[in-house]
């Protein structure tokens, strides 16, 4: 399968897009793994054109949201 052009969107605390960058991957699973590495401690959404693929949040973000 030929690589596809995904977009990774960095999401801020107000749930707004702070920035975006392209990501090339051979599959959704490969793109998700790359996005996890790129995300660090940030919340990101991964899209392939107009198709939502995944939302990635770190364990720390989920824990803070559950507490707060």
Q: Is the per-residue pLDDT at 33 higher than 70? A: yes
Q: What is the pLDDT of residue 59?
A: 62
Please name the residue that has the structure tokens 């052009």. Answer: 5
Give 22's contacts (C-beta < 8 A, 6+ positions apart).
Answer: 5, 6, 7, 8
- Tell me the per-residue pLDDT of 39-58, one tens digit each, with 9 for 90 and over: 988 999 999 999 999 999 97
The answer on pLDDT for 64 being more than 50 is no
Q: Quickly list DSSP for 31-56.
A: HHHHHHHHHTTSEEEEEETTEEEEEE
Place of tokens 């991964």: 46
Which one, of 38, 50, 43, 33, lies nearest residue 12 by Cα? Answer: 43
| pTM for this predicted structure | 0.81
């Amino acid at each position: 399968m030929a690589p596809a052009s995904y977009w990774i969107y960095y999401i801020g605390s107000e749930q707004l897009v702070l920035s975006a960058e392209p990501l090339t991957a051979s599959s959704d699973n490969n793109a998700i793994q790359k996005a996890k590495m790129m995300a660090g401690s940030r919340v990101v959404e991964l899209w392939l054109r107009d198709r939502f693929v995944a939302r990635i949040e770190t364990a720390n973000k989920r824990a803070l949201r559950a507490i707060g």
